[in-house]
């Protein structure tokens, strides 16, 4: 993180949902000097509600400086978006993974795939507890992953237009149980008498992590796209 050296230099900040006993939940900013008010988001109870109007709110946030805003005291931070409509996790999208996590041979090229996490049960805040099962056969795995926060709906979006739909970025603690679950791969030869390809249960078939347990998708803050927070953190 780069700290400002003069009052005119941009400062880093992230969007959060704050909660106090007197006010309930509301949008705020987490900056270098703590939690601050965001006047442009006054009246929004959280990040989910703000994202519904993101196209109109984003321009006003580009010049926001938390050093000029009032501090928020005595607040805790629940999940910044409660709750997103969809949480999609991409599997096998990197090769520097431990051997066996996506199949017995980690050098094997695997086609990336997606699997969902139910938002209302898995998404929690940064200070909420993560419950790990006592059964070691579950092989619980924890990964810090970059998540893209969508601020504008769409479908079949060309790659060169994707950035226009991004509200910001966050870090997700992806907790998964990899032990008993394996993803079958279609075989080119049909099953006898069915005409349908059988499921290949060979060791090369990568597993689908079991990750829908309660609280297994902790999220902290959102760095708005195009703000000093995103530009500085990406250096």
Buried b (16+ CB within 10 A) or exposed e, 78-108: bbbbbebeebebebbeeeebeeebbbeeeee
Domains of the chain, residue spans: 13-80+223-233, 87-218
Q: Yes or no: say if 127 and 80 are a contact pair by the CB < 8 Å rule.
A: no
Q: What is the pLDDT of residue 231?
A: 41
Q: What is the pLDDT of residue 209?
A: 56
Q: What is the pLDDT of residue 212?
A: 76
Average pLDDT over residues 66-92: 92
Q: What is the pLDDT of residues 11-61, one digit of tens each?
A: 889 999 999 999 999 999 999 899 999 999 999 999 999 999 999 999 999
Q: Which of the four pLDDT bands, split at 50, 70 and 90, describes residue 225?
A: confident
Q: Choose between 144 and 49: higher pLDDT.
A: 49
Alpha carbons 230 and 235: distance in angstroms, whole number: 9
Greatest Cα-to-Cα distance within the chain, rounded to the nearest angstrom: 75
Q: What is the pTM of this model?
A: 0.75
Q: What is the pLDDT of residue 201?
A: 45
Q: Which of the four pLDDT bands, split at 50, 70 and 90, describes residue 218?
A: very high
Q: Which of the four pLDDT bands, split at 50, 70 and 90, describes residue 187?
A: very low
Instruction: Output the CA–CA distances (angstroms, integers) from residue 77 to 16, 19, 154, 221, in the order listed.
Output: 7, 6, 30, 9
Instruction: Output the CA–CA distances (angstroms, integers) from residue 41 to 25, 50, 197, in the order listed.
Output: 12, 7, 53
Q: What is the pLDDT of residue 205?
A: 47
Q: Choose between 116 and 104: higher pLDDT.
A: 116
Q: Which of the four pLDDT bands, split at 50, 70 and 90, describes residue 170?
A: very high
Alpha carbons 114 and 180: distance in angstroms, whole number: 19
């Amino acid at each position: 993180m780069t700290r400002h050296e003069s009052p005119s230099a941009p400062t880093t900040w992230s969007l959060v949902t704050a909660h106090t006993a007197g006010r309930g939940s509301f949008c705020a900013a987490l900056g270098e000097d703590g939690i601050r008010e965001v006047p442009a988001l006054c009246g929004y109870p959280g990040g989910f509600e703000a994202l519904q109007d993101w196209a109109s709110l984003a321009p006003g946030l580009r010049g926001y400086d938390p050093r000029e805003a009032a501090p928020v005291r005595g607040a805790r931070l629940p999940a910044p978006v409660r709750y997103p409509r969809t949480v999609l996790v991409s599997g096998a999208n990197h090769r520097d993974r431990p051997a066996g996590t996506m199949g017995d041979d980690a050098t094997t090229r695997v086609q990336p795939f997606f699997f969902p996490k139910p938002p209302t049960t898995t998404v929690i805040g940064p200070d909420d507890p993560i419950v790990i099962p006592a059964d070691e056969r579950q092989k619980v795995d924890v990964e810090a992953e970059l998540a893209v926060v969508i601020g504008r709906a769409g479908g079949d979006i060309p790659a060169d237009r994707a950035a226009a739909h991004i509200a910001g970025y966050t870090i997700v603690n992806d907790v998964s149980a990899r032990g008993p679950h394996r993803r079958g791969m279609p075989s080119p030869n049909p099953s006898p008498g069915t005409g349908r390809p059988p499921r290949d249960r060979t060791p090369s078939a990568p597993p689908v992590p079991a990750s829908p347990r309660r609280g297994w998708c902790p999220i902290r803050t959102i760095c708005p796209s195009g703000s000093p927070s995103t530009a500085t953190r990406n250096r």
